[in-house]
Amino acid sequence: MHGIAENSSLVKKVFDTSLHVKPKDRVWIQSWDYTLDLAKAFASECSLLACPCLLSVRYEDVWLRSILQGSKKQLGSITPQEESALEETDFYVFTMGPKNPVPWGSIPKEKRGEVSVWLDTRYDKSLYARRWARVAKAHKVRMLAIEATLATPERAKAQGLNYEEWRDVMFWGCMADHKAIAKRARNLASLLSGRGNISISTPAGTQLSFDLDRRPVSISDGISSEEMAQNGRIVFLPAGAIEVSVDEESAHGRTVFGAPVRLGNEKIENLAIDLNDGRIKRHSATRGSDLFDRYLRKGGKEAGRFAFFGFGLNPNLRRGFMQDDKVMGGLTLGFGSNTSMGGKNSANDQWWASITRATVRLDSGSIMVGGKLLI
């Protein structure tokens, strides 16, 4: 990622604020072959704290070969060594990768769903992730993923991003004040977890309303908790968002995504979506409309149903670098699957994008004005 000083700062942030690691706690560091400098910094901090530390390394070529040559049963299995190590671990920290984009086109279709990438079962539906979560929950392991390590020159080229900018944005996103983010998230959660009507407007033309329905609130604040460990959930850095599913049939109006929506190295420009009774009735775009059509076809019957919304809370992140849902001042709107958020949509996929300069009202009170949170 960065140099020695930056890696050391990130490690202290993770240990002191996100995980609250104490002397003698047992730590497992899982690194990719290209993130060993950061893994070394974690191991050094463990040594200073007298924490028993296991450092394991995943090599990209070996990992890919195991996917291509292994059976579906092998892909879904946790090895006895992994299970034993996890049972003896208090904190599991892993860097995300690999360095190159996963070559999904080279992986047989019947195996793709068994490849574990995110590990967290909210996003990773592989059998491996489910089995991992079962062990982690049983032993209340606190888990954290460094998502910032996805910013590599190889991935930047594939995504059409400037590598140095992306790397720096991700690093400083990890270094945000997570306690301040958590406080703001708690204040918002007290409002979003109840009932009421949300209305949204933007200068680009959004005029949308929908109802809250006492759904559970999902918070990404960069801080692990005992409850997260009991549920097998993972903290991802950078962090900084709050989201909630809504009454799926209540959304009416128009949403206009004034800024380009990036999908890999492709873009949808000036996407406008009209909703009635929570379902997409029509949509248009000046560029990339076929990309949204592709999502709707792939997602099944519920793909065009409104699902959730949320606020970005990280002041150190910037739009356009794969973390738009976490950028302070942004408002995320999502369609499709939301069952993992306590919703009723059972679509095959999920689609979301963020709008800017939004004014958001809950009944008669303002939550955000012109993209500035008031809570």
Read out DSSP for 285-300? -SB-HHHHHHHHHHH-
**Is 233 part of any domain?**
no
CA 114 to chain centre: 19
Residues 330 and 350 in one domain: yes
* Number of domains composing the chain: 2
Residues 134 and 188 in one domain: no
Structural domain including 147 reads 4-175
**Is 117 part of any domain?**
yes
Question: Per-residue pLDDT tens for 51-65?
Answer: 999 999 999 999 999
**Is 148 part of any domain?**
yes
Q: Cα torsion for 185, 191, 195, 201, to the nearest 10°?
A: -90
Q: What is the DSSP letter of 340?
A: G
Element (H, E) at 82: helix 80-87
Residues 79 and 138 in one domain: yes
**Is 215 part of any domain?**
yes
Residues 270 and 300 in one domain: yes
Question: Per-residue pLDDT tens for 301-336?
Answer: 889 999 999 999 999 999 999 999 999 999 999 999
Mean pLDDT of the residues in the chain = 95
Residues 219 and 315 in one domain: yes
Residues 353 and 207 in one domain: yes
Number of helices and strands (H, E) in the chain?
12, 20
**Is 156 part of any domain?**
yes
Residues 169 and 184 in one domain: no
- The CA angle 317-322-324, to the nearest 5 degrees, is 55
* CB 238, CB 317: distance < 8 Å: yes
> Cα(265)–Cα(255) distance, rounded to whole angstroms?
23
- Does the pTM surpass 0.85? The reply is yes
Question: Per-residue pLDDT tens for 8-41?
Answer: 999 999 999 999 999 999 999 999 999 999 999 9
